[in-house]
Amino acid sequence: MKKPLILIADDDNAIRLVLEKKFNRSGFYTKSTAKGKTLLAWIKNGEGDLVITDVIMEDSNGLELLPLIQNVRPDLPIIVMSGLNTIKTAIDASASGAYEYFPKPFDLDKVLDVVIKAFNYEKSGIKKTEAENILYDDMPIIGRSPAMQEVYRILAKVVASDLTVMIRGESGTGKELIAQALHDYSPRKDKPFIAINMAAIPRELIESELFGYERGAFTGADRSRKGKFEQADEGTLFLDEIGDMPLEAQTRLLRVLQDGCFTSLGGKKLIYTNVRIVTATHRNLSDLINDGLFREDLYYRLNVVPIFVPPLRERADDVPLLVHHFLNQFTDIGSEKKIIDANALTKLENYQWPGNVRELENLIKRIIILTPHEIIDLETINLYLSKFESINTKNVNISLGASVEKHLNKYFDLHKNELPASGLYNRIIHEVERPLIVKTLKLVKGNQLKASELLGINRNTLRKKIMYLDIDIGNNNVNI
Ligand SMILES: Nc1ncnc2c1ncn2[C@@H]1O[C@H](COP(=O)(O)OP(=O)(O)OP(=O)(O)O)[C@@H](O)[C@H]1O
Ligand SMILES: [Mg+2]
């Protein structure tokens, strides 16, 4: 096969050089230009096997070039890169049929992977699905950090499909917002978005809430009622806190996903459903699976497209944007918008945010309501943050034993009258052993001799534990 030729358009010389070097070394020919018009001329001339283009160039806009390129060479894969890192650019790129979108700065190896994939994809003859061009300017999700870019990239790829999405992330990171965006930008946007939170409904009512019931199905069912599945027909069903779904309901849900239909409680008629399922959880489902509390087969059905929403402390760059967004949002029309000073902002950027975006949102809301000052300074922030901190850290001072006991109580309660799977002793001990060893190794910078001394165990024993607890000790960075 002849060496493929990659056409590159970007008005940043440095980026062109880096890309050319990478691709030439990996066995591709390249040709690059700073001008969109030159790129188009090459393509019209029949040159090139793949295109990588920037969005904003001196003479043209890469996204506007896309339809022109597709007109003459519909099968030419196009990769779009942009420094305009909004969810809108990601969705625009995807909607105009780009094969892949990369926010800048990008990881060269990832770009290379995608290029290689694109050539195989071309050969397989699969056509790209045409995403609907439904775009809004006022984006609901704020944040341009690389971590959020990754979220947008996945979002943009799946909005037009019916793929099942599982959103993971700590509490308050914006999981529900993302679920809503998945619906709002999808072809189902004019149909219902129905959310149901497994943790907020009494466990015995979850099945009737989801699947509905007929009159007389149980005591108190004096009339029949449609369940959320039926209400969400043709739309999106958001199953929030999926980790809290009782096992019986999980079995039923799995069956619905397999068969595409179900019966209501006490009903005989098969009800066919056409819903897109989006789930969210802040819990570790692998642990729940190991503990026999979550069905593994259901997990695989739901986890088709995983989206991980990073905690706010890992995307401090987004804090100023969010602060301004919430200041705008909560300032009453007609009243003066408060200003935040640089020291106050730095404090917020360095704060740990255990409650993530929700905590930041509440903080700004309170400050707007409660402080008379025009300028939000460090003193104001310290005052309001300390009030929050005392709430957030209320339970931290209990002893390890008491904390373990609390967890065990919760664990046994979850099983109600049944017994957990056998092997309980080892499972629980591992749970405590693992963080202890990880923490110790971190303290001694990965030195196993020192760690074994500190722990008071034999070095070989430590090595074995590291192995069977699957602790990653690469590069001295001990990862959990
Ligand atoms: N990126 C964001 N931009 C703007 N607002 C956000 C963002 N992320 C979260 N929020 C706001 O923060 C609050 C919490 O978000 P959301 O309810 O989506 O979090 P969650 O991950 O579902 O939390 P939980 O696990 O507690 O249910 C909401 O008011 C939401 O509008
Ligand atoms: Mg939520």
Q: Where residue 222 sits, what CATH number does that domain have?
A: 3.40.50.300
Query: Is 415 among the domain residues?
Result: no
Atom of ligand 1 nearest to the CA of 173: 21
Same domain flag for 21 and 112: yes
Span 173-178, mean pLDDT?
96
Q: How far is CA 327 from CA 137, 191, 330, 340, in A?
A: 19, 32, 6, 9
Decide: helix, strand or coil at residue 238.
strand
Q: What is the pLDDT of residue 363?
A: 93
Query: Is 107 among the domain residues?
Result: yes
Q: How many helices, marked H, and strands, marked E, lie in the chain?
A: 20, 14
Show which of 372, 392, 412 is a domain's final residue. 392
Sign of the torsion angle spanned by Cα atoms 261, 211, 220, 193 = negative
Pocket lining for ligand 1, CB < 6 angstroms: 141-143, 169, 171-177, 282, 325, 357-358, 361
Residue 180 has pLDDT above 90, yes or no: yes
Closest CA to 66 of 55, 128, 48: 55
Same domain flag for 322 and 301: no
Span 443-466, mean pLDDT?
90
β-partners of residue 305 are 165
Query: Is 93 among the domain residues?
Result: yes
Q: Which amino acid is at 263?
A: T
Same domain flag for 268 and 365: no
CB 63 within 8 A of CB 93: yes
Distance CA 442, CA 447 (A): 9
Q: What is the pLDDT of residue 3?
A: 78
Residue 392 has pLDDT above 60, yes or no: no
Q: Which amino acid is at 40?
A: L
Q: Which amino acid is at 152?
A: Y
Query: Is 413 among the domain residues?
Result: no
Distance CA 309, CA 175 (A): 7
Name the CA dihedral angle for 364, 368, 371, 372, rounded to a multiple of 10 degrees.
150
Decide: helix, strand or coil at residue 351.
coil
Q: Which of 173, 240, 282, 360 to mutate to test the pocket of ligand 1 (most atoms within 8 A of CB)?
A: 173
Distance 173 CA to ligand 1 centre (A): 5
Instruction: Identify the top-confidence range among 231-240, 332-341, 380-389.
Output: 231-240
What count of other Cβ atoms lies within 10 Å of the Cβ of residue 458? 10
Q: For residue range 242-261, list pLDDT tens digits in order.
A: 999 999 999 999 999 999 88
The bound ligand whose nearest atom lies closest to the alpha carbon of 239 is 2
Same domain flag for 162 and 304: yes
Atom of ligand 1 nearest to the CA of 169: 21
Same domain flag for 261 and 378: no
Residue 299 has pLDDT above 90, yes or no: yes
Distance 227 CA to ligand 2 centre (A): 20
CB 277 within 8 A of CB 233: no
Same domain flag for 231 and 210: yes
CB 359 within 8 A of CB 172: yes
Distance CA 147, CA 149 (A): 5
CATH code, 81: 3.40.50.2300
CB neighbours of 45 closer than 8 A, spacing ≥ 6? none
Query: Is 139 among the domain residues?
Result: no
Query: Is 137 among the domain residues?
Result: no
Same domain flag for 347 and 229: no
* Number of domains comprising the chain: 4
Distance 317 CA to ligand 1 centre (A): 17
CATH code, 461: 1.10.10.60
Same domain flag for 207 and 262: yes
Span 340-361, mean pLDDT?
92
Closest residue CA from atom 30 of ligand 1: 174
pLDDT averaged over every residue in the chain: 85
Query: Is 76 among the domain residues?
Result: yes
Same domain flag for 201 and 109: no
Distance 198 CA to ligand 2 centre (A): 11
Distance CA 102, CA 88 (A): 13
Same domain flag for 184 and 297: yes
Q: What is the pLDDT of residue 388?
A: 57
CB neighbours of 455 closer than 8 A, spacing ≥ 6? 436, 437, 440, 462
Q: For residue range 21-53, list pLDDT tens digits in order.
A: 888 878 888 999 999 999 999 999 999 999 999
Query: Is 302 among the domain residues?
Result: yes
Distance CA 69, CA 352 (A): 47
Domain of residue 200, residue span: 158-308
Tokens describing residue 181: 């965006």
CATH code, 360: 1.10.8.60
Same domain flag for 120 and 205: no
Same domain flag for 183 and 323: no
Q: What is the pLDDT of residue 137?
A: 31
pLDDT more than 70, % of the chain: 90
Distance CA 411, CA 158 (A): 35
Closest residue CA from atom 31 of ligand 1: 177
> Checking DSSP bridges between strand 261-262 and strand 271-272, what pairing results, if any?
antiparallel
Q: What is the pLDDT of residue 426?
A: 77
Q: Which amino acid is at 142?
A: I
Sign of the torsion angle spanned by Cα atoms 350, 351, 354, 359 = negative
Q: For residue range 302-347, list pLDDT tens digits in order.
A: 999 999 999 999 999 899 889 988 988 888 777 777 888 889 999 9
Atom of ligand 1 nearest to the CA of 360: 12
pLDDT band at 479 (very low <50, low <70, confident <90, very high): very low
More confident residue, 129 or 470: 470
Atom of ligand 1 nearest to the CA of 143: 1
Show which of 72, 104, 124 is a domain's final residue. 124
Distance 171 CA to ligand 2 centre (A): 7
> Which of 136-140, 366-370, 403-407 has the least mean pLDDT?
136-140
CB 339 within 8 A of CB 373: no
Residue 163 has pLDDT above 60, yes or no: yes
Atom of ligand 1 nearest to the CA of 177: 18
Q: What is the pLDDT of residue 267?
A: 85
Distance 102 CA to ligand 1 centre (A): 25
Residue 467 has pLDDT above 70, yes or no: yes
